[in-house]
């Protein structure tokens, strides 16, 4: 597994990429989208699973930010 697309979980919404990135670094959960199934993932889970890149949707899923996952 190397890439995932995620959206904010638990009703959270972000107006900026900076706010989204802050929560990603704070290890908050995001909902996984797409064919890989459903569920939740956070930064620690992504590192442990070998995910190399996460595409996160924000601002009512109209904008994207690509996150390079690193330890």
User: Domains of the chain: which residue ranges?
Assistant: 3-68
Asked if residue 8 has pLDDT above 80, the reply is: yes
Q: Per-residue confidence at 35, pLDDT binned at 50, 70, 90?
A: low
Q: Per-residue confidence at 1, pLDDT binned at 50, 70, 90?
A: low
Asked if residue 14 has pLDDT above 70, the reply is: yes
Contacts of 48 (CB under 8 A, 6+ apart): none
Q: Which residue has the higher pLDDT, 24 or 70?
A: 24
Contacts of 8 (CB under 8 A, 6+ apart): 14, 20, 23, 30, 31, 58
Query: If residue 15 lies in a helix (H) or strand (E), which one and from where to where?
Result: none
Residue 61 backbone class (left: φ over 0; alpha: ψ -120 to 50; beta: rest)? left
């Amino acid at each position: 597994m190397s890439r995932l697309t995620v959206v904010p979980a638990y009703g959270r919404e972000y107006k900026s990429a900076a706010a989204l990135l802050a929560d990603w670094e704070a290890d908050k959960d995001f909902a996984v989208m797409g064919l890989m199934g459903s569920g939740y993932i956070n930064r620690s889970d992504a590192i442990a699973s070998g995910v190399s890149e996460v595409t996160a949707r924000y601002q009512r899923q109209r904008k994207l930010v690509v996150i390079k996952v690193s330890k």
